[in-house]
Each structure stands twice: as C-alpha cells, then as structure tokens.
Amino acid sequence: QRADVAVTGLATMGRNLARNLARNGYRVAVHNRSAQRTDALVDEFGNEGTFLPAKSLDELVAALERPRRVIVMVQAGEPTDAVIDQLSSLLDTGDVIVDAGNAHYEDTRRRESRLREAGINFVGTGVSGGEEGALNGPSIMPGGSEEAYEALRPMFEKIAADVDGTPCCAYVGPDGAGHFVKMLHNGIEYADMQLIAESYDLLRQGLEMSPAEVGEVFTGWNNGDLESFLVEITAEVLGHVDTSTGQPFIDVVLDQAGQKGTGRWTVISALELGVPVSGMAEAVFARGLSSDIARREAARETLPGPSPLAAVEDRQQFVDDVRDALYASKLVAYAQGFDTIRAASDEYGWDVDLGQMATIWRGGCIIRARFLDRVREAYDRDPALPSLLVDDYFRQALADGQAGWRRVVSTAAQLGVPAPGFSSALAYYDGLRAPRLPAALIQGQRDLFGAHTYKRTDRPGTFHVDWSGDRTEQER
C-alpha cells in the first residue's frame, strides 16, 4: 500500500511532524539526506504508526499515492532550494510540495512562482510550536494556491493543535502569505518576551524581589487577561533553582540574548512596508545590546545612573502598575503586528483574514494566549478595524491601564532601569492619539533644506517657501 504523504528532512522538526502524521493514522513515507536519521526514526518510533522508509528522493516519490504530497522540513535557505529542485524533477503536474521550514516569504514567493510554471503546487507553510508542537499539534499557517491547500486541509487540520474544537490551522493566502504570517508570529513573540523581561527587571530592581517572588507574581497574572504560554513559562523559569550552585537559575545564566534572525526579518519587512513596529524593533535592539559585551563593559563603570536613587513607595500599586504596563504594551505590539500583516496583504494581494490569524495562534504556538480570543472578536466586530487599539474592548483596557502604564515608564526612568518596550509602546500610543504631531516642524525643516514641499491645513495643494529669497510661498 502506498503512502498518503511524505516527509523529507528528519531532524527535530521533521521527525516529530512525521510521527504526528503517523499517530493520526496516515501512512508516512520518510526520508533524510543521511540515512541514519531515517533508520533511527523507524527503530525508535516505528510502532507509533505506518512509516515507509526511503533511501533516496526517487524512492520517496515512488512510494506515494497520487497526487503526491511531499513535506520538506530541511534547513531553511539553500538546502531547501536544493531539495525542492531535486523533487520538482521527480514530481508530475498536480503533485504538491509543502515547505514547512522557516523560509523567508520572499523565497517562498520565488519558489511558488517557479514551481507553478512547472505545474507543481507549492504550499509554503509556517509551522510554529517548536519540537513539542510538531509532535503534539502545531499552529499551521499554509500559503499557496487554495486548491493545493484543499488537498492538504483534512490532514493539516487533524495534526494541528485544537482549541475548543477549532483547529489551529487555516489557509492564509497565496504564495508567501503563510511564511509571512509565521515570520510575524515570531516578531510578536520577540516583543512579548521583551515586555515580560522588562516586567521582571522592574519588579526585581524596583522592589528587590527575589526571582521566585517575581515568579509568583507571574503565576498570579496567568489567571487574568495576561494568561498565556509565555507568562506561564516565565514563572517556571524564575522559580527554577540551579542544581550545581543552588542559586536561582536566572542568576547563573549569562545575560546575552541569542537570536536566529526571524525577529530581524520581521522588522526589516515592516520597515519596507512602512509600518512602525516599535515593539518588535525594540525587542530586536534589546537582544543586540545585551550581546554587545565590549560596549557594555566600557559603559558599565563609566556612565552615571540616577542619583539619588528613587525608591518605589507603594509596593502593591507598583506590581499592579507593571501588570497594566505589560498588558497595554503587549496590546500595542500586537496591534503593530496585525497592521504589518494587513499592509503585506494589501501589498501582495493576499486578502488575509486577520481574525482568522488570531484564531490559529490560540494553540500550538509560542504566543498562544487567552488575549487572542479578544483579538479575534475585535476583527469579527469590524474586519476593517484601522488599529486593534481603537476596538471598543481594547480601548477600554487601555483607558483602564494607562495611568499605571505611565507611572511605570516614569518610575523606570527614575530608577535607571531600561524599559524600551514599555516606553516606546507608550510613545506610540500617545503618537497615535495626538491631535497634532510635530511632523509639521519636520515638513518645515525638509522644505527649508531640501525644497521637499509641504501641504497646508487650510487648503489643498503642494507648497514651498522661498527660504533663501524673499520667503514668499509658491504653489508647486
């Protein structure tokens, strides 16, 4: 009997995805460049379902039912191109290649267009949730032709995470849409993690709480609006004690944050689309700063902090304020993230359903949170919402939380504790709601030094002042 689906690339993610498919009753042909991984999968987990091991891509393709469905789960970049090239020469019209790796959406657009010419359906699919998600149910974000996705839908919906009976999988849009949304998910994850880290830092430094005490605060927050996987694991990390020293684990970990680049990709893409994503950008910058050891060392002994050091007076008030600042700043970061998806959707004609994206992130992925139900409801109320922040529910949440948020930002400045996520989110919020911005002055400066022209508040047209002459205004 032939296989229903094939997986090539059996490292952490591919192996677990193949097991997830097999556990759900699919016959899975499996292949890896080096055969040891294929053998190890069949040896260790062969009893979980039906695996058909293949030694080569030819064998893999030959093992499949038509139309053939091949999931590629290899290293992103050139390896993915190499595997897709080999596969495309072995497949026929109507067959489907799924790239489930972390491809850049522009690569996916390029691959999709090339394969479409060859009659092969290409589905660039974001898969979130890491190792654990791939095995037990990830959030799946497929992009490509809708007909091709239909051939995969029952299978994908079955292996995806499930929240209240709804699978965390939905067609995102044509060509690179799935990988774009997966990238955005990672950018939002960066922002969310940074805001949580700032909350921890402020409670620790502002109130001199122990890591375990801060962990308990997070556990409490996990019962309210902030309930989320990231808040839950934060409490777990903060409560953990290092086995070799008996110290809080967090105190023996080097304070240099790593990154694989998806946060940076998100910010670059958003800048190209003209969307301000200060939350994600500050998160990427903060990770960069943390790893800039030479500069940090040079500054540590040299640059003065606030003096005298401010003290927080009302401890419980401060804890509540930090919670409000975290929720409000998180809202800003998500609003910016959804704005970016909308901008890309308009730019590339993807017609992405934003509420649907919130739905498929509710389970199986790192940013899963109760809050995403509220996001979905906001887009259900108004699919054309100009910003999540102006939705009634969120507007009220911001109104309720803003006093605490403002106190936290000013206390952070007085304590000398960096809170770039909180403060830039607040600046974005105030910028967005400002009746008038100093952008008028920038237009004046641009007109003076570069004759870049300006528009007037009182009548249409484009104008320039003869700054170096008699300063009369000319219409351009």
Contact 184, 340 (CB under 8 A): yes
Radius of gyration of the CA atoms of the chain, in A: 25
Catalytic residue among 182, 198, 282, 330: 182
Q: What burial letters (b/e) apply to 212-251, b meaning 16+ CB within 10 Å?
A: eebbebbbebbeebbebbbbbebbeebbeeeeeeeebbbe
Residue 33 engages ligand NDP in binding (rule: CB under 6 A): yes
Does the active-site annotation cover 55?
no
Segment contacting ligand NDP by CB under 6 A, of 26-34, 41-49, 358-366, 417-425? 26-34
The number of angstroms, rounded, from the C-alpha of 388 to the middle of its chain's C-alpha atoms is 17
Contact 120, 144 (CB under 8 A): no
Three-state DSSP class for residue 90: helix
Segment contacting ligand NDP by CB under 6 A, of 71-79, 149-157, 304-312, 327-335? 71-79
Find tokens 């093992």 and name the residue: 63
Residue 81 engages ligand NDP in binding (rule: CB under 6 A): no
- Nearest CA among 182, 189, 163 for reference residue 330: 189
Contact 51, 42 (CB under 8 A): yes
Measured between alpha carbons, how far is 284 from 194 in angstroms, rounded to an integer? 9
Give least dist CB 69 to ligand NDP, A. 18
Give least dist CB 454 to ligand NDP, A. 46
Contact 69, 95 (CB under 8 A): yes
Contact 267, 284 (CB under 8 A): yes
4-23: which residues touch ligand NDP (CB under 6 A)?
9-14
Residue 58 engages ligand NDP in binding (rule: CB under 6 A): no
241 — phi, psi (to 5°)? Answer: -110, 135
Give least dist CB 29 to ligand NDP, A. 15
Choose between 182 and 407: whose C-beta lies nearer to ligand NDP.
182
Give least dist CB 301 to ligand NDP, A. 39
Catalytic residue among 189, 198, 282, 330: 189
Binding-site positions:
9-14, 32-34, 74-76, 102, 128-130, 185-186, 190, 260, 287, 446, 452
131-150: which residues touch ligand NDP (CB under 6 A)?
131
Choose between 95 and 107: whose C-beta lies nearer to ligand NDP.
107
Choose between 364 and 421: whose C-beta lies nearer to ligand NDP.
364
Does the active-site annotation cover 182?
yes
Choose between 112 and 321: whose C-beta lies nearer to ligand NDP.
112
The number of angstroms, rounded, from the C-alpha of 391 to the middle of its chain's C-alpha atoms is 22
Which of residues 62, 76, 273, 390 is near ligand NDP by CB under 6 A? 76
Taking CA atoms, 421 is separated from 87, 300, 333, 380, 388, in Å, by 44, 21, 9, 28, 18
Supply the DSSP symbol for 47.
Answer: G
Give least dist CB 79 to ligand NDP, A. 3
Measured between alpha carbons, how far is 179 from 185 in angstroms, rounded to an integer? 10
The bridge status of strand 121-128 relative to strand 69-72 is unpaired
Contact 30, 7 (CB under 8 A): yes
Which of residues 55, 56, 82, 386 is near ligand NDP by CB under 6 A? 82
Q: How many residues bind ligand NDP (CB under 6 A)?
A: 22
36-55: which residues touch ligand NDP (CB under 6 A)?
37
Contact 129, 158 (CB under 8 A): no
Residue nearest to ligand NDP (CB): 101
Which of residues 53, 101, 178, 248 is near ligand NDP by CB under 6 A? 101
Measured between alpha carbons, how far is 66 from 252 in angstroms, rounded to an integer? 54
Choose between 13 and 70: whose C-beta lies nearer to ligand NDP.
13
Give least dist CB 133 to ligand NDP, A. 8
Three-state DSSP class for residue 288: helix
Give least dist CB 134 to ligand NDP, A. 7
Segment contacting ligand NDP by CB under 6 A, of 125-133, 153-161, 190-198, 235-243? 125-133
The number of angstroms, rounded, from the C-alpha of 188 to the middle of its chain's C-alpha atoms is 4
Binding site for ligand NDP (CB under 6 A): 9-14, 32-34, 37, 73-76, 79, 82-83, 101-102, 127, 130-131
**Residues annotated as part of the active site:** 182, 189
